[in-house]
Amino acid sequence: MNAKPHILLIYTGGTIGMIKEYTSGALKAFDFSNLEKQIPELKQIDCCIDSKSFETPIDSSTITPEHWIHLVELIESNYKLYDGFVVLHGSDTMSYTASVMSFMIENLEKPIIFTGSQLPIGDLRTDAKENLITAIQIAALRENGTPVIQEVGLYFEYKLYRANRTTKISAAHFNAFTSPNYPCLIESGVSLEVHKSILLRHQHSSDVIFHKSLERSIILIKLFPGISEAILKPLLMTEGLKGIIVESFGAGNAPMFDWFKSLINELVAKGIQIVTITQCFGGSVLPSHYETSLTRINNQIINGKDMTTEAALAKMMFLLGQKTPLKCFKDAFEKEIRGEMK
């Protein structure tokens, strides 16, 4: 480790990387190579900052697994050179990207902090400066020479969350993200209040592993009153489908129509993995708690517990991408591996 932390800033795209020209009002790309000149407050942080950008910055609404793999490779190639990473990303899909990063990088012992903004960095009322400055400060935090944060986090509007616990809740307010089922890791006020007891720590000395295989043949279904067999069955019988995330009602409930139960059993028999999570903002799936519980239809239905939709999708893509054996998949998914569920 360096005496002074070295932080790598990675710009993937998004609003935070734009700056407004005051004469024309047009947005142009921010020059991160002159970061400290543009934001002199960064000089007060006792760290060295380098930056890299995607060759072609992307709008986060067009993010793909190929971009995620590229980001992992970028972090891997620089992992030994830096003490922490700050990833700038569009807010629309930030929770998806940050969640999948937490699974793709195993035995992480350095901070990877995602942040972004609702307004461009040069806007009069921008949230970009505070988010960026504090994200870098958090990535540089050390105690006895060791990084305080050793996991993937998401910082927005004065709070650092565990990345795979987050979801975006607003397109109009600066507090755009929340963590419905897990407390924040750090709160930024007059000082940084670190909640050390809930930070993720690895109790072994295994080397970091960068996984680069993700399965895309999955689908997300949100149950709703009036869902029909004529529409749903052809969709779920798509050739090559390997996994389904079902956003169930309440604590994991589903319609008990004969056609629906028959369809679920047929899918399970074909070896398709089905995970049930709640479509409620907060809370958890309680398997078999009610007569209408989805897990009562077939005991191979996987309990997603209190996972967010973003984390459930990321974990399924990851586990299927690792060729997890079908007979082990349920146990593997229901086991917490990156602090994503309880």
Return the active site residues. 15
Alpha helix (H) residue ranges in 192-245: 229-236
Q: What is the rounded distance in angstroms from the CA atom of residue 70 to the CA atom of residue 302?
A: 30
Q: What is the rounded distance in angstroms from the CA atom of residue 252 to the CA atom of residue 246?
A: 9
Tell me how far CA of residue 162 lies from CA of 72, 86, 262, 264, in angstroms: 18, 14, 38, 33
- Torsion, Cα 224 229 235 240, to 10 degrees, reads 120
DSSP state of 90: -
Q: What is the rounded distance in angstroms from the CA atom of residue 211 to the CA atom of residue 325?
A: 17
- Torsion, Cα 48 54 59 64, to 10 degrees, reads -120
Q: What is the rounded distance in angstroms from the CA atom of residue 153 to the CA atom of residue 165?
A: 9
Half-sphere exposure of 232 (CA within 13 A, CB side): 21
Q: What is the rounded distance in angstroms from the CA atom of residue 342 to the CA atom of residue 180?
A: 13
